Amino acid sequence: MSKLKSGLLRKEGVMLPSGWKKYLLGNIATFRNGLNFTKSDAGEKIKMVGVADFKNRSKLEKNYELDSIKVATKVRDADLLKSGDLLFVRSNGNKELIGRCLYFPHVTDRISFSGFTIRGRVDTSVIEPEFASYLMRSKIVTDQIFLGGSGTNISNLSQEILSKVEVKIPDLTEQRRIANILFTWDQAIATTERLIEKSQKQKLSLKKILLSGKRRFSNPRGPWGYEDIGVIFERVRCKNTTGNINVLTISGERGLINQRDYFNKSVASTNLAGYTLIDRGDFAYNKSYSAGYPMGAIKPLLEYDSGVVSSLYICFRLRKEVDASLDFFRHYFEAGFLNQEIEGIAQEGARNHGLLNVGVTDFFKLRLHVPDGAEQRDIAEVINVAEAEELHFKRHLQTLLIERQALMQQLFTGKRRVHLIDAKMAAQV
């Protein structure tokens, strides 16, 4: 068998990197389903890893964060996690979570795992556990898991599906080097995530003290006053007579965005003539309560010049004759400073499928506690700077995640060989 210039060897009709071997996961790992339990169980109390513990993690080292539950009897050693184990989401209401892998580098307590998960334990004479944890999160493996070998997306993961996943791996030394490289990337990602968390806390703190008037600038221009929404804003009620097809919906994270971008499909009526036409800078209030928005979300249109929204939304814009800052009110509404006012007019028990019973007339009579336009702009500028910093870190994080995924693809296919990289670096010293 001849060696190619790329360093790959032809084997069984496929190209394998030199020194690599091909395995089915079932031949280099064992799998076990987790424990089922009920609230009435009265046996051993033990720390339990469930789907909720996966979150955005790739590994779990702080075992004290886990909840303890009671199971029917005493948990057998076979149902405990050990250092180096992998845990997969077997089934969940959200299909996107199925197949997610969580790595346990150091287990010191008695910890078990729920019936909605599958434990994987690798043969360490063939594959390093940390290398395996990265490999299990690569597209090479996740694509196989999602298709389940049948060509259609799976709704439940099984030991059989995992066992049939095909992987190509180098020797243990190269595995350790690959894991070390990816660990360095993980550290950079974790650092960026902490910077995002810090900037978010700073932004929330600024909103709390500046938008409430508790902290003023060094030369305050005058006292804050109370005004009805209808004094500062006018209602937008223009119907879609222009045939605009940019149907918008409110996203808590992204604001007013195209419906297809949010749902990956259109859920709007085929006839859009009855929809409300709004322009850039106009606000829309979705009276449906959701996570983070107990009184509904108010968002301005910022991404497009115009669009249409459901007539169920209350739409409004700043009056031209009023000296006011759009950004100030964008932050004011987002921080929930109108929630208490809305709660006062939303009839108790009048919620229908998450829709708050808020009348248009009552809405425009809600009171806003605000400074003059100049101070509004000063406040908005400070919060905007904090917001820009957070966005900068989020974009950097997204770049790191994309680049790490591309690197993983190269490392796990052998297109980039770690020992070759090390040799080049040594030659340059």
Residue 429, pLDDT score: 34
What is the pLDDT, as a whole number, of residue 351? 46
Residue carrying the six token digits 């694509």:
143
- In this predicted structure, what is the pLDDT of residue 2? 35
Residue 261: strand, helix, or coil: helix
Q: Are strands 276-279 and 306-309 parallel, antiparallel or unpaired?
A: antiparallel
Out of 3.40.1000, 1.10.287, 2.40.10, 2.40.50, the CATH code matching 172-223+374-429 is 1.10.287
Helix (H, G, I), strand (E, B) or coil at 284: strand
pLDDT in tens, 279-317: 999 999 998 888 889 999 999 999 999 999 999 999 999
Residue located via tokens 């395995």: 23
Angle at which helices 129-136 and 139-147 pack, to 10 degrees?
A: 60
Task: Give me the residue spans of the domains in the chain.
Answer: 21-169, 172-223+374-429, 225-370
Do 169 and 135 touch, CB atoms closer than 8 A?
yes
Percent of the chain with pLDDT over 90: 62
Q: Do the strands 111-113 and 45-49 form a parallel or antiparallel pair, or are they unpaired? A: parallel
Mean pLDDT of the 118-122 span: 97
Three-state DSSP class for 276? strand
Predicted TM-score (pTM) of the model is: 0.79
| pLDDT (average), residues 348-374 | 82
Q: What per-residue confidence (pLDDT) applies to 267?
A: 61
Q: Which residue type does 216 have? A: R
Q: What is the pLDDT of residue 210?
A: 96
Q: CB under 8 Å to 4, separation ≥6 — which residues? A: 10
Contact 59, 133 (CB under 8 A): yes
Domain 21-169 has CATH 3.30.70.1150: no
- Smallest Cα–Cα separation from 416: which of 126, 101, 181? 181
Bridge partners (DSSP) listed for residue 30: 121
Six token digits for residue 365: 């009579």
As a whole number of angstroms, the distance between CA 248 and CA 299 comes to 11
Q: Using alpha carbons, select from 239, 223, 222, 202 the residue that is nearest to residue 390.
A: 202
**pLDDT tens-digit series, residues 128-174:** 999 999 999 999 998 898 775 454 556 789 999 999 999 999 999 99
| Six-digit token string for 90 | 């077997």
Task: Tell the CATH superfamily of the 225-370 domain.
Answer: DNA methylase specificity domains (3.90.220.20)
Residue 236 has pLDDT above 70, yes or no: yes
Let me know if the fold of 21-169 is the same as that of 172-223+374-429: no
Angle at 206 between CA 201 and CA 210, to 5 degrees: 155
Write down the pLDDT at residue 81: 95
Closest CA to 229 of 416, 126, 117, 364: 364
- Residue of 27, 35, 24 whose CA lies nearest to 118: 35
